[in-house]
Structure 1
Amino acid sequence: MGFIQSKSDNSLFILHHQEHTAYLLLYVDDILLVTSSDTLRQHLMASLASEFAMKDLGPLSYFLGIFVTRHNNSMFLSQQAYAHDIINRAGMRSCKPVDTPVDTQPKLSSTSGTAFEDPSLYRSLAGALQYTTFTRPDLSYAVQQICMHMHAPLNSHWQALKRIIRYLQGTASYGLTLESSPSVALTAFTDADWAGCPDTR
């Protein structure tokens, strides 16, 4: 149909035809199709339906555990239900929330402390938390830190993981707002602490 696979995401396919553009995101049997015109969308849907059994679910509201809410010219992406599922899986439904996802003082180490008794639980929850970073960039650093120790988690790593879940408890309704902008500039902020890691310094 003229789509070209994206080099940055194997599940994303892009079509450029004259002044029209379409993006098709494919995950197993779920498809998200975004087009620059209704005519192109209808044409692509008809072409796909002629090859595959399909059902048009209409405007995007839910995709791979992410809820989408539209507000005028913006979309709010939320994984609130998924966050509550992680909290329940961890057995922390009644935990008290904290204001930050990571303790700013101690640094996690791969050698200090005793081994955590249930590495499978740790890996399962750490993996689940990785998926939340799609709509929660505020969790990215904290989740990256606990994922570095999935091969041999210690009790200190488990405490760090539980802190992220306590942060989720108070911020489960947070998400990501997408809206058009006249600027294409990307702004990033960082606070590099090159010698701060006790393992790699």
Structure 2
Amino acid sequence: MVVSLALSWNWPIHQLDVKNAFLNGDLSETVYMYQPPGYANRVSFSLSRCDSSLFIYQHGSEAAYLLIYADDIELAASSTNLLQRIVSSLHKEFDMTDLGALNYFLGISVTRDSTCMFLSQNKYALELLDMAHMANCNPTRMLVDTESKLGSDGDPISDPTLYRSLAGGLQYLTFTCLDISYAVQHVCLHMNDPREPHLAALKRVLRYVRGTLDFGL
């Protein structure tokens, strides 16, 4: 939604990376889980009510959206000047790198021109195929076997953990590959007790993904 709004308003979008280290040890510093009283919020972002990872800045005609996932940040602002001011302000508080215009975020590659933006999970899809040992499988253009219906019958599969990992991975792939949503939903219905017919249906989806690696949003 943030990307769509920024594109429609022709806002610049940058990605930032916070340089941090996750330590296994005792901390001598006080760690606040909530903002302490008297803390001066210099950047003046407010937390979105609908998404805890989204922060919104609004001052007069200026506006900005900041998305945070762990140490990855996506920042969209109403002007390049405002974007750079926010980046400079963040630099004063945190050690971070401005990676420039948005091009790869959370497994999604972004290609932008003057009128549109193309989102693709090609690299992520290839990783899923590697996990399933199907990187060189024969592709198919038919997502679902219309002649059969998935039920609870069939022999249990040998590796249900892999099945669940692949099904969950396919769920994430539906962010940009909406055409597989229906088939993935049916595969995920059987994650609790996957059987051989369910695995065959999952592999069919992966074969479709193999043949549509250039698809996106």
**Does 2:107 match 1:65?**
yes
- The unaligned stretches of length 5 or more in structure 1 are 177-201
1:7 offset after TM fit, Å? 3.2
* Separation in 1, partners of 2:48, 2:182: 26
Structure 1 residue 6 displacement after superposition: 2.6
Secondary structure class of the residue paired with 2:97:
coil
Q: Report Cα offsets for 1:96-127 as digits up to 9, x if no partner.
A: 11113222342322x22221111011011111
1:125 to 155, 159, 166: 166
The alignment partner of 1:57 has SS state of strand
Q: TM-score scaled to structure 2, two decimals?
A: 0.76
- Using the TM superposition, name which of 65-74 and 115-124 deviates more: 65-74
Residue in 2 that maps onto 1:39: 81
Q: Secondary structure at the match of 1:91?
A: coil
Query: Structure 2 regions of 5+ residues with no counterpart?
Result: 1-42
Equivalent position amino acid for 2:198 in 1: H
Q: CA RMSD in A?
A: 1.4
Question: Quick one: percent identity of the two aligned structures?
Answer: 52
Question: Residue 5 of structure 1 aligns to which amino acid in structure 2?
Answer: L
Tell me which stretches of 4 or more aligned residues in structure 1 moved more than 3 Å. Answer: none
**Partner of 1:52 in structure 2?**
94
Between 56-65 and 90-99, report the one with greater CA deviation: 90-99
Quick one: distance in 1 between partners of 2:209 and 2:164?
18
Corresponding residue for residue 112 of structure 1: 153
Question: Separation in 2 of the partners of 1:106 and 1:9?
Answer: 40
SS in 2 for 1:55: strand
| Number of positions where the alignment pairs a residue of Structure 1 with one of Structure 2 | 175
Q: 1:146 aligns with which of 169, 183, 187?
A: 187
Q: Distance in 2 between matches of 1:32 and 1:82?
A: 19
Cα gap change, 1:164 to 1:8, in 2 (>3 Å): farther
Q: How does 1:1-201 map to 2 (within 5 A)?
A: 1-109=43-151, 111-176=152-217
Structure 2 CA distance for partners of 1:7 and 1:144, relative to 1, 3 Å: farther
State the one-letter code of the partner of 1:16: Q
Amino acid at match of 2:66: L
Rounded to whole Å, the distance in 2 between the matches of 1:155 and 1:4 is: 49
Partner of 2:14: none
Q: 1:38 to 1:71 in 2, by over 3 A?
A: closer
- Per mean C-alpha deviation after superposition, the further-off stretch among 166-175 and 127-136 is 127-136
Q: Structure 1 residue 173: deviation in Å?
A: 1.1
Name the SS for the 2:98 alignment partner.
coil
